[in-house]
């Protein structure tokens, strides 16, 4: 099969005509949409709080990793009991996001 | 020249209807639907090859365009803007639907029966090629579908996809090469070939 064969096949695609009731159906859908209450506003405040929580967890994970390599500074020692659970939570979060993203990346590639 | 005049008139009518809708007269949207239904349903059909789904996707595109009309500033032709809205709607719906029919995935088909599509009639072969386009990665699929939908107008296709013309040409080249390989894998041969 040559590129010319592909061109010919793709150029020859006949358009379909909308069914007779299509315009009326669109009119009804638009009227329904216009009559509907305005959509809920995007929850920016919740998003900001969630992002802040993620940052705290990520920072704790970083501190945990650093503290494993070197002792914590005196001022940070009070946080030590919190570091391990938050660090594991951060690691779980990162792994979950990576696992969610992986299939999408693979689909795009192949 | 006459065709350009018709397009300018249609664009004026679209802009006038859009202004009336934004000004509070929803019935003016009917004119837009009448003028563009053929193209939006036709484009949706090329993305899914299913009439009922195509009409459903086109209807959703019209509703989204209605909602977004206030944002149309006339910086591009109305048709370009409306096609972009439709394209985004179709992409989103296709993502929700997942990959096209699993049986069109060449790797899966060939694992069971190599050269399955060899020996088809010309019309069936052409239709198989068009369906094979839907199995391409989205960036190549969109470029190819829109390029042929716009009768191979690179500039208009690039505007709708919001790509530089060079990038679009690269996508078309890569997409057609990939499509050619997939068609060969499926056993599609030009007419007269053994």
CATH number, domain at B22? Answer: 1.10.1740.10
The closest of B51, B67, B59 to B86, measured between CA atoms, is B59
Single out the residue in B74, B97, B120 at which a domain terminates: B97
Pairwise CB contact (< 8 Å): B37 & A10: no
- How does pLDDT run across A10-60, given as a tens digit for each residue? 988 888 899 999 999 999 999 998 888 877 888 899 989 988 988 888 787
Instruction: Choose one of B97, B132, B161: the last residue of a domain.
Output: B97
B26 and chain A: CB distance < 8 Å anywhere?
A: yes
pTM of the model: 0.69
CA distance A30 to A23: 10
Of B37, B148, B152, the CB nearest to A18: B37
Is B54 found in the same domain as B112? Answer: no
Residues spanned by the domain of B64:
2-97
Does the CB of A16 have a partner CB in chain B at under 8 Å?
yes
Q: Could you tell me if B129 lies within 8 Å of chain A, comparing CB atoms? A: yes
Q: What is the C-alpha to C-alpha distance for residues B42 and B95, in angstroms, rounded to an integer?
A: 19
Contact between chains at B30 and A34 (C-beta distance less than 8 A): no
Would you state the pLDDT for residue B158?
95
Average pLDDT, chain B: 84
Q: Is A1 in contact with B183 (Cβ distance < 8 A)? A: yes
B85 shares a domain with B18:
yes
Using one digit for the tens of pLDDT, what is the confidence trace for B19-62? 899 888 888 999 999 999 999 999 999 999 999 999 999 999 99
B191 is a domain residue: no
Is pLDDT larger for residue B99 or for residue B28? Answer: B28
Nearest CA in chain B to A21: B55
pLDDT on residue A94: 84
The DSSP call for residue A76 is: G
Q: Is A41 near chain B, with CB under 8 Å?
A: no
Tell me if A26 and B137 make a contact (CB, 8 A cut-off): no
B7 within some domain: yes
CATH number at residue B136: 1.10.10.10
Rounded to whole angstroms, the Cα distance separating A4 from B179 reads 12
Contact A16 B125 (CB under 8 A): no
Whether residue B139 is found in the same domain as residue B172: yes
| Ranges assigned E (strand) in chain B | none
Q: Given B97, B120, B149, which residue is the final one in a domain?
A: B97
Q: How far is A9 from chain B (nearest CA, A)?
A: 5
Does B193 map to a domain?
Answer: no
Q: Are residues B26 and B84 in the same domain?
A: yes
Give the residue, B31 or A77, on which the prediction is more confident: B31
B7 and B84 assigned to the same domain: yes
ipTM score over 0.90, yes or no: no
* B110 in Cβ contact with B116 (< 8 Å): yes
Tell me, yes or no, whether B69 and B150 share the same domain. Answer: no
Number of domains, chain B? 2
Is there a single domain that holds both residue B54 and residue B137?
A: no
Residues 68-97 of B with CB under 8 A from A: none
């Amino acid at each position: 099969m040559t590129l010319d064969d592909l061109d010919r096949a793709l150029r020859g695609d006949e358009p379909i005509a909308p069914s007779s009731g299509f315009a009326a159906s669109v009119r009804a859908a638009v009227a329904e949409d216009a009559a509907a209450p305005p959509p809920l506003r995007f929850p920016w405040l919740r998003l900001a709080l969630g992002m802040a929580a993620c940052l705290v967890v990520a920072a704790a994970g970083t501190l945990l990793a650093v503290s494993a390599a070197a002792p914590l500074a005196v001022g940070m020692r009070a946080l030590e009991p919190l570091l391990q659970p938050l660090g594991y939570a951060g690691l779980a979060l990162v792994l979950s996001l990576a696992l969610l993203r992986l299939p999408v990346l693979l689909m795009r590639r192949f | 020249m006459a065709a350009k005049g018709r397009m300018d008139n249609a664009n004026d009518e679209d802009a006038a209807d859009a202004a009336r809708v934004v000004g509070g007269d929803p019935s003016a949207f009917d004119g837009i639907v009448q003028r563009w239904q053929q193209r939006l349903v036709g484009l949706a059909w090329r993305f899914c090859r299913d009439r009922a789904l195509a009409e459903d996707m086109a209807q959703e595109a019209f509703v989204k365009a209605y909602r977004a009309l206030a944002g149309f500033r006339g910086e591009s032709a109305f048709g370009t803007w409306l096609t972009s809205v439709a394209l985004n709607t179709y992409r989103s719906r296709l993502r929700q639907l997942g990959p096209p029919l699993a049986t069109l995935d060449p790797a899966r088909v060939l694992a069971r029966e190599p050269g399955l599509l060899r020996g088809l009639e010309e019309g069936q072969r052409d239709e198989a090629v068009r369906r094979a386009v839907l199995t391409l990665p989205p960036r190549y699929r969109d470029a190819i579908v829109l390029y042929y939908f716009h009768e191979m107008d690179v500039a208009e296709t690039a505007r709708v996809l919001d790509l530089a013309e060079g990038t679009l040409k690269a996508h078309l080249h890569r997409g057609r090469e990939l499509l050619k390989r997939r068609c060969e894998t499926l056993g599609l041969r030009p007419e007269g070939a053994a």
